[in-house]
Structure 1
Amino acid sequence: MDALSKIFDDIHLNRSEYIYLKAKNNWAFQYHEHGAMIAYVVMQGQALLHINRERIQLESGDLILVPSGQNHCCTASASPVFQNALDIQPLFDEKHQKTIDLESDQYPQHEACMILAIRGHVDSIMAKPLFNALPDFLHIQHIMSSTAPEWLQIGLQFLAVEVNQIRPGRDKILDHLVSILFIECVRDYIAQLKDSKNWLNALTHAELSNALAAIHGQPEQPWTVEGLAEQCCMSRSKFANLFTQIIGEPPLAYLQQHRLRLASQHLRSSQLSIQQIAHRVGYSSETAFSQSFKRSYGLTPSQYRLQYQQTA
């Protein structure tokens, strides 16, 4: 399996949900939950997305993806009253697969707007390297036109059919469609990326991608710098320098952080013992694993698991 595919396996993008927002007049809504991928498709009208002091004009037929679900607000007006913005986070749970009427009596009046909002849950810890490498948003214009990428047109056609019908296997199909949407957006972004030192570039790098595929595909193996260099058919020194230059940290440091993120996922989502988790992520000693985990997370593996269970 290639590195990008394995990374999408690791982040566990699932439980896709959607709502339709039927907005009138000077409306505003906000979203502020991390650990979820959010996408908006403007079916009718116009909107402004406010994120990290940026304002993005959205037209009918546009799609905008907020990969990490970070705080943002969407409005009809350039001068919204933010304190009156509707929080749509709970609506996905309470009224998912329904149309929400979002009306305001505030002026100025605006044309009606229809937005399809899609949420896909992810493991935010496992997704951290991916989210750090992506921009705050990915904006694809005119997705309903004939000039839009074919994958997007087909995906949205399937999505439109599935969201309007209740058939067996529907939730699984939605999960797959949303996964394809996210992956293709990321692939398009990588194809246009000009920063050679972005982690995403390494996923498709002619030489380094094999090392990343090995780390993410077989983290339990006793990898050394020499062993990873062999995966890339490179000398040890050339591989180590190139990896550090593009990834931003040495190969074994990256390997250790990936192993610990994977361990945190096992602690949160499995009943495996600490020793089993240690071996599964490449530690021969439970003691060495526990010490390494505590240095990174500030808690022992047992304390981390207990804290998660108490707050879940």
Structure 2
Amino acid sequence: MDSLSLILDDMHFDGVVFASTHNSTPWAWHLATPGLAAFHMVTNGQAWLIREGEEPLLLQTGDLIVLPAGCMHRIQDKPQTMAVAQDLVPFMAKSELEPQRHGGQGEPKCDLISGHARFDVDMAAPLIAALPSTLHVRGLGEAPPVWLAIGLQFLAHEVSSPRPAQQAIINRLGDILFMECIRDYVEAVPEGSGNWLAALKDRALSNALANMHRDPRRNWTVPELAQQACLSRSAFADRFSQTLGEPPLTYLTRHRMRLAARQLANSGLSISKIADQVGYASEAAFSQAFKREYGASPSAWRQQRLSALDTHGTPRGQTDTDPPNEKAAA
């Protein structure tokens, strides 16, 4: 499996939460899903994306816009709309396929499918931080991506009427569309850009990354990783550090700590068992490494997470847009 596939697997995608809306002028929505990628697909008409400190962005029929970090934004009929923006989150929580009618009685109209992806926020953090604030895939123009046209057509058909296994299919399709956006962006990242995602296009570094993600428990050394990359030790270490911004074993340690944090938050495994799973023979060494990364010992961090869950009732990687039955099943 290639390195990007392994990184995406580590994010543990769990489908999408969405709302279908039929909007008549004047209309406006606002949406924020911190840490979870928000998206809007324009199936008919046009809309404007409004973000603080940024120029308004026109979205047209067939366009897909993804906000990887789920930052607060508005989507509306025109840059200076007369409408008061309404929160989309409560409508996504309903998970109803019937389009929500919104706005006034005027023309033009706009049909949207909006929502957010669900994944492990902590595991996704490095990838999300490397992506731009928006990923805009245009459905019109000289060469719109084939996957976008097929995906939008399939999604529009799927939400048109109730069918068996509908939510499961929409979940998988939403995951695929988001992954396609990421893949397109990674393929376009130029060498020397300073973005660590460029490493995924570098065959040598990609091989090393794939091995670390495939077997994080292994006691990797820089010479062993260099051998996987078919480079000398010094050439590999320099190339890795320049491209990813940190030495190979620092990257590996931070990845291991994210894996450990996921286990601490989502399992009842003992600290020693988790330490072993992420490549530490010594629980003490693991605890020291974890505290350097997260500012608390594994046991204290786990207790903080459990307390936060008891207080807020929403695990990391989910939001209050998730239907109750899906939270329980996640």
**TM-score under structure 2 normalisation?**
0.86
Counterpart contact for 2:46–2:59, Cα < 8 Å: yes
Paired residue type of 1:265: R
Within 5 Å, give how 1:185-200 maps onto structure 2: 185-196=181-192, 197-200=194-197
Matched, 1:268 2:260: no
Output aligned runs, 1:45-60, within 5 Å. Answer: 45-54=45-54, 55-60=56-61
Match for 2:36: what amino acid?
Answer: A
* 1:265 CA displacement: 1.0
Q: Quick one: distance in 2 between partners of 1:284 and 1:104?
A: 64
Matches of 1:284 and 1:165, distance apart in 2: 54
Deviation at 1:95, TM superposition (A): 4.4
- 5+ residue gaps in structure 1? none
Contact 2:50–2:73 (CA under 8 A) maintained in structure 1: yes
1:247 Cα offset (Å)? 0.4
Q: State the distance in 1 between where 2:165 and 2:215 align.
A: 31
After superposition, the C-alpha distances for 1:145-194 in whole angstroms (9 at most, x for unaligned) are 89422222222233223223444433332222122211211121122222
Shift, 1:68, TM fit: 2.2
197, 210, 220: which is aligned to 2:217? 220
**Structure-2 separation of matches of 1:117 and 1:104:** 19
Measured in 1, the distance between the counterparts of 2:277 and 2:189 equals: 34
1:178/1:233 Cα in 2 relative to 1: closer, same or farther (>3 Å)? same
- Give the length in aligned residue pairs: 307
The two structures, once aligned, show a CA RMSD in angstroms of 2.1
Question: 1:22-37 residue pairs with structure 2 within 5 A?
Answer: 22-37=22-37
Question: Which amino acid in 1 is paired with 2:129?
Answer: N
What is residue 86 of structure 1 aligned with on the other side?
Answer: 86
> 1:34, 1:124 within 8 Å by CA — same for their partners in 2?
no
Match in the other structure for 2:138: 141
User: How much has 1:17 moved relative to structure 2?
Assistant: 2.3
Alignment of 1:98-117 (within 5 A): 98-104=98-104, 111-117=108-114
Q: Percent same amino acid among aligned pairs?
A: 41
Residues 146/57 of structure 1: CA separation in 2 closer, same or farther (3 Å cut): closer
The more displaced of 268-277 and 230-239 is 268-277
Question: SS at 2:111's partner residue?
Answer: strand
Letter in 2 for 1:67: P
1:248 to 236, 245, 248: 245
Deviation of 1:214 (Å): 0.9
- Give 1:227's aligned amino acid: E
Report the 3-state secondary structure (helix = DSSP H, G, I; strand = E; otherwise coil) of the residue aligned with 1:207.
helix
Unaligned runs of at least 5 residues, structure 2: 310-330
What is the identity, as a one-letter code, of the residue corresponding to 1:259? R
- Give the SS at the match of 2:4: helix
1:70 matched to which residue of 2?
71
Aligned to 1:280: 277
Report the residue type matching 2:247 in the other structure: P
Does structure 1 residue 158 correspond to structure 2 residue 154?
Answer: yes
1:123 shift after superposition: 1.1
Shift of 1:241: 0.2
* Cα distance, 1:302 vs structure 2: 1.6
> For the residues of structure 2 that align with 1:204 and 1:301, how far apart are their CA atoms?
35
Q: 2:297 aligns with which of 280, 297, 300?
A: 300
Change (3 A) 1:262 1:81: farther
Q: Residues 13 and 96 (structure 1 numbering): CA distance in 2 closer, same or farther, change over 3 Å?
A: farther
- Shift of the 62–218 alpha-carbon distance from structure 1 to 2, 3 Å rule, reads same
2-side partners of 1:194 and 1:204: how far apart? 9
Tell me by how many angstroms 1:24 deviates. Answer: 1.9
- 1:35, 1:123 within 8 Å by CA — same for their partners in 2? no
Summarize the Cα distance change of 1:275–1:167 in structure 2 as closer, same or farther, 3 Å threshold: farther
